[in-house]
Amino acid sequence: MNPITRTTLVILVALSALSAPSAQAQEALPSTLPSAAPTTRPRHVAQVPPGFNRLDLDGRSFFVMPQEEPWLRRAIQEMTPATMPTTMPTDLLSNLSARRATVRQRMVFDTGIATADVDEYLDQRLKVFLTRMEAFRPPVIYLVATPQQVKEAMKAGWTDPRYRYNRVADDVNFSTTVNLTMDETGDDMVLPLFFADNDPPEARQKRVAGEMRSTEGSILSAISQRTQSMMMVAMVELISAKVLDPLQLKPDQEWFGVGVAGVLGAKYVAILTGMSEARLLNDMTRQHPGNPMRPNTLDLLHPTNLGDVRPEWMEAYTDAYRRRSMMVVWRFLAKAGEGSIAKVIAAMKKAPPADGAGLVQLIKDATGVDLTSELRPK
């Protein structure tokens, strides 16, 4: 694996720049901006359960028994919509337009990247992705029913990947996980909105409306978080491709690439989203509570070969490596000042250092900051 490919992998393996998606919308973060790809199977199209009708109303789809439709219509009409985050794709597209000049200016100043490269990437990658996200509508169908009604439908032959009938327990198990597949291959997701047999219509109406509002709030939050995370990915891709790749970093220099891409990427995401830069960087550099490997124990000048890392420890190692590398660069910027990264990059292009120790010396010569102690294990 060449160094920059590894560098990008390390940055993207466990991005924690933003809060984790809700339990209803967890998914793995892709390592690059999504693009169209062939699917190996046709998308799942949900079938209407026996005895149910499909009702499309107010931009939503439902499977519901005919006798339940009157109160369901009232529930939809009277339901208070879920609160929409201020970082939805539409907001971020608007921000990209309004703050584009600021981001471009910062990137040129920070890295020396060509203005044309910034504009091309923002237009052909980030803007295209945000536009796709703006138009994205998860293929959700709400199953409005009692558990008994679903059980009877399954006994009558209805099937769906999200529902399993346990014959031994005479019970139905189901999944409420929302998978945000961003292309036409996304399966229909039949999500349950259950009510009790003995609930009167008013209680059914209140319960179903509350669950639907909660579900839609989780979906909106997940779309927002996914979009922000992918903005970070976009910035990392751009910095890696246009700034770091030409440096051909050695394995014991990769901490610089990881730290630069992560720290600067976070700065640009903060500009575009309105998030706090300091909070974002703090979230990305502090010890992850679920990772037993402490970042400060790593020796960045003598990094572990990824080929020697056991698969079950790969995510823990790369997460710790990323956090430590970003912390070193963040502290470096605090000491050396804005524009110091561009000075280092320019010096590296003029006289590429042979190894990690050479890079440390180059940084000291260019900025007056000695990072030796920062890179050692503690």
Give residue 193's pLDDT band: very low, low, confident or very high (50, 70, 90). very high
Supply the angle between the helices 254-273 and 89-111 in degrees, to the nearest 10: 140
Q: Quick check: 12 and 326 in contact, CB under 8 A?
A: no
Give every CB contact of residue 133 below 8 A, 6+ residues apart in sequence: 89, 182, 223, 226, 227, 230
11: left (phi over 0), alpha (psi -120 to 50) or beta: alpha
Please state which of the ranges 14-18, 185-189, 332-336 shows the lowest mean pLDDT: 14-18
Residue with the bigger pLDDT between 219 and 13: it is 219
How do beta strands 60-64 and 171-174 pair? unpaired
Is the pLDDT at 330 greater than 90? The verdict is: yes
Give every CB contact of residue 377 below 8 A, 6+ residues apart in sequence: 296, 297, 298, 299
Residue with the bigger pLDDT between 341 and 36: it is 341
Average pLDDT for 125-130: 91
Give residue 13's pLDDT band: very low, low, confident or very high (50, 70, 90). very low
What does the pLDDT look like over 266-302, one tens digit per residue?
999 999 999 999 999 999 999 888 889 999 999 999 9
Residue with the bigger pLDDT between 131 and 186: it is 131
Q: How many CB atoms lie within 10 A of CB 117?
A: 17
Give residue 136's pLDDT band: very low, low, confident or very high (50, 70, 90). confident
Considering 13-27, 143-157, 184-198, the range whose residues carry the highest mean pLDDT is: 143-157
Averaged pLDDT of the chain: 87
Is the pLDDT at 351 greater than 80? The verdict is: yes
Is the pLDDT at 18 greater than 50? The verdict is: no
What does the pLDDT look like over 70-124, one tens digit per residue?
999 999 998 988 888 989 999 999 999 999 999 999 999 999 999 999 999 999 8
Is the pLDDT at 1 greater than 50? The verdict is: no
156: Cα within 13 Å, side-chain hemisphere: 11
What does the pLDDT look like over 242-258, one tens digit per residue?
999 999 999 999 999 99
Is the pLDDT at 7 greater than 70? The verdict is: no
For residue 352, the model assigns a pLDDT of 96
For the chain, give the percent of residues with pLDDT over 90. 63
